[in-house]
Structure 1
């Protein structure tokens, strides 16, 4: 799907499901990883993750577009456009927009802990997402030296 086809699709969904015109740009953004799309408050443009279309098809893409159009139209009208706002929740339910999108394979870390450390004195083990400088940090239990395992 090209960006021109995406623009036409967004305009059609906006007109048919919301009864309002979409007057800004809809583009693909290859840098999006963990989200299906996003609505930009300053420019009012909508960015869509192209991987969602490639992995899950047009139906998933339409759901993402509806979700982002809920943000768009409510923000333009000066109503509550955030996920926690009642206006947003009601409009999403009315148009059948999903709250979340599917996770693209390969975008989520398989393991949440990548670094393991052990105290050389009491042998207490630490699991951390971020790397520690073992010259700077010591064991919280006995103040012994840490080593990476």
Structure 2
């Protein structure tokens, strides 16, 4: 899917679910890491995390789009567009949008094992094997698996 087809999907969802048109730009933004999407208050554009489509299904993408469109329509109608506002929560429930984006599944887990006593260490980040040693016997560590 490219930005053109995303724009068409956003425009269609806006008309079907909200009864109003979406007159600005919707694009994929690969710099988004922890959020499913982002609505820009100044430009009224919507950015969508491409991982919402590659790691999840089409329903998740539609839920994220509905979430961002809630921000869009409420902001342009001078209503409460923030997550904590009653207007936002009510509209999001009506259109069945996602309240939270699903967690990314691309978390790396590294397992290290001591070469002498077989002590296991599990880390989210890589460690420098020249710098760190086993906390029990002070022997060298080796990468077990990624």
Q: Does TM, scored on the shorter chain, surpass 0.5?
A: yes
Change (3 A) 1:107 1:72: farther
For residues 107 and 91 of structure 1, what CA distance do their matches in structure 2 show? 32
Q: Compared with structure 1, are the counterparts of its residues 54 and 41 closer, same or farther at alpha carbon in structure 2 (3 Å cutoff)?
A: same
1:1-149 maps to which residues of 2 (within 5 A)?
Answer: 1-107=1-107, 111=124
Instruction: Tell me the CA shift for residue 111 of structure 1.
Output: 4.7
8 Å CA contact 1:38–1:48 kept in 2: the answer is yes
Residue by residue over 1:49-101, the C-alpha shift from the partner in whole angstroms, topping out at 9 and shown as x without a partner, is 00110010211100000000000000000100000000000000110011111
Counterparts of 2:91 and 2:32 in 1: how far apart (Å)?
Answer: 25
Runs of at least 5 residues in structure 1 that lack an aligned partner in the other structure: 115-149
The change in CA–CA distance for 1:107 and 1:48 in structure 2 (over 3 A counts) is: farther
Residue deviations 1:119-149 (CA, integer Å, cap 9, x gap): xxxxxxxxxxxxxxxxxxxxxxxxxxxxxxx
SS of equivalent to 2:27: strand
TM-score (norm 1): 0.72
Structure 2: runs of 5 or more not aligned: 110-122, 128-146
Q: Separation in 2 of the partners of 1:71 and 1:100?
A: 14
Match of 1:131 in 2: none
- SS of aligned partner of 1:43: coil
